[in-house]
Amino acid sequence: MAVKPSIPKGTRDFNPQEVNRRHYIMSVLRSAFEGYGFQPIETPSFENIETLTGKYGEEGDRLIFKILRSGDFLSKVPADVRSNDNPNAWTSFIADKALRYDLTVPFARYVVQHRNELAMPFKRYQMQPVWRADRPQKGRFREFWQCDADVVGSDSLWQEVEFVQLYDRAFGKLGLKTEIHLNNRKVLAGIAEVIGASEKLTDFTVALDKLDKIGADKVVEEMVERGIPSDGTSKLLPLLSMSGNNEEVMNFLEDFLSDSEVGKKGLEELGFVLNQVNALSLSSAELVVNLTLARGLDYYTGAILEVKAKDVELGSIGGGGRYDDLTGIFGMPGLSGMGVSFGLDRIYLCLEELNLFPEDTSKSPDALFFNMGDAEMAVAQKWAAELRNAGFSVECYPDSAKFKKQFDYAEKKGIKYTVIMGDREIADGVAQVKNIESGEQEMYTLDQLIALFRE
């Protein structure tokens, strides 16, 4: 008995309606990106493994899908490595490539490789799939699409202001009301300094980034396990439970970070973005200063953003931040950048749950020509060609089947009109056209049919 086929966990097939809806989201995002001057690029689905590892922090590196070397790679693993129980020791011997984890690091590699061809600052957008060896759950997949926008070659904080506006514009066009959470890695570095954890900044941010998932007590417990002094974590408790409007949060930070120079610098940057966005105003989003937002990626150095839909419990639907030296890891130091990502799959789930997809995203053919035989189909094909030239989507049924079978096909595909051309219709230069929804049926010339479809 044949084994029923399946797909790997965390991946999905998409039917025509789903694909059309995804294309709708991407078309809105593409319009928003290009409205701010971003240009499209694409990069390979896999990179050399050294390009990706060490860029996403401990948690991120663990989730990178490695690609086994071709050939008899096991024979090249030294005996002392084979006896090592740590799988990471094997990696460089058995895998030399990996599926991309995100689009930002490949973009940094692209900029370094093509720097002599680019006008700086360089603004790009990119919409392609990425892969993460994560535990599948609602809204979280192992294969998913990211839609990114980045600018490199400028350290101006006006870039942060524009990205907040970009989020507001794109999600507003999709009909989503959102909260854009804002923080700054320098603020986090200042907080770490205040609690005596400057040398444990990565451990601090990785644990802090889990606050929404595990709660304050567990975050503090994890920090202590990671070597952060308990007397320092006790100072964090007011911050972890901090609530209030943006002004109150900023006032709290001024006091908390009064002895940290890096913290005060981050607070200054945070204040600039907040004030400028407030002056410009947002149409559909609310900007929220979130002191516990960490986004545990090692390459962020300044502002960090995360977007959540207001009316759906689904986690973040976008995020990003400032990186001052991401290209330095590829031999091009000192090139500051800022970028954001839109989570296509989670945006889809939000629009679906809130019933925000337009009705016309499903692009069924306008008409189906019934197959009445080869001679009749030869004429029908000429009419179909004229209709396609006029901009309409038209199908011709391939087989001379029973009417019911052809009609059921049209109905199942959501086709609006059926067109029948028999000997009598061809002789009179007309076609019998039926509106499947209303049941109305009339004779039309080709010109009249084109006019009908244009109504």
For residue 311, the 8-state DSSP code is T
pLDDT score recorded for residue 242: 77
d(CA 136, CA 173): 29
* CA distances for 166 relative to 28, 135, 149, 445, angstroms: 12, 31, 9, 49
Highest mean pLDDT among 114-118, 165-169, 323-327: 165-169
Binding residues for L-histidine: 102-104, 132, 146, 150, 295, 299-300
Sorted by where each begins, the domain ranges of the chain are 16-65+101-353, 364-454
Average pLDDT score over the chain: 89
- Establish whether domains 16-65+101-353 and 364-454 are of one fold: no
pLDDT score recorded for residue 26: 97
316-323/303-309 β-pairing: antiparallel
For residue 198, the 8-state DSSP code is G
Q: Give 323's pLDDT tier (boundaries 50, 70, 90).
A: confident
Minimum mean pLDDT range among 91-100, 268-277, 381-390: 91-100
pLDDT score recorded for residue 306: 95
Answer CATH for 16-65+101-353 from 1.20.1280.290, 3.40.1110.10, 3.30.70.20, 3.30.930.10? 3.30.930.10
pLDDT at 291 over 90: no
**31 Cβ contact partners less than 8 Å away, ≥ 6 residues apart:** 173
Contact between residue 349 and residue 314 where contact means Cβ atoms under 8 Å apart? yes
- 152-164 pLDDT per residue, tens: 999 999 999 999 9
Q: Give 296's pLDDT tier (boundaries 50, 70, 90).
A: low
| Measured CA angle at 251 (ends 249, 256), to 5 deg | 90
Sheet holding 394-396, edge to edge: 394-396, 367-369, 417-420, 431-435, 441-444
pTM (2 d.p.) = 0.83
- 215-250 pLDDT per residue, tens: 887 888 888 888 888 877 788 887 787 778 999 989
pLDDT score recorded for residue 209: 78
pLDDT score recorded for residue 272: 97
pLDDT at 84 over 90: no
pLDDT score recorded for residue 295: 75
Binding residues: 102-104, 132, 146, 150, 295, 299-300
**67 Cβ contact partners less than 8 Å away, ≥ 6 residues apart:** 46, 49, 95, 96, 97, 98, 99
Minimum mean pLDDT range among 6-10, 99-103, 324-328: 324-328
Class for the domain spanning 364-454: alpha beta
Q: Which tokens belong to 331?
A: 């031999």
Cis peptide before 121 (omega within 30 of 0): yes
pLDDT score recorded for residue 163: 97
**128 Cβ contact partners less than 8 Å away, ≥ 6 residues apart:** 42, 43, 45, 103, 145, 146
> Which residues make beta-bridge pairs with 306?
181, 319
Q: Which tokens belong to 349?
A: 């789930």
Minimum mean pLDDT range among 86-90, 228-232, 321-325, 345-349: 86-90
Cα dihedral sign, 161-164-166-172: negative
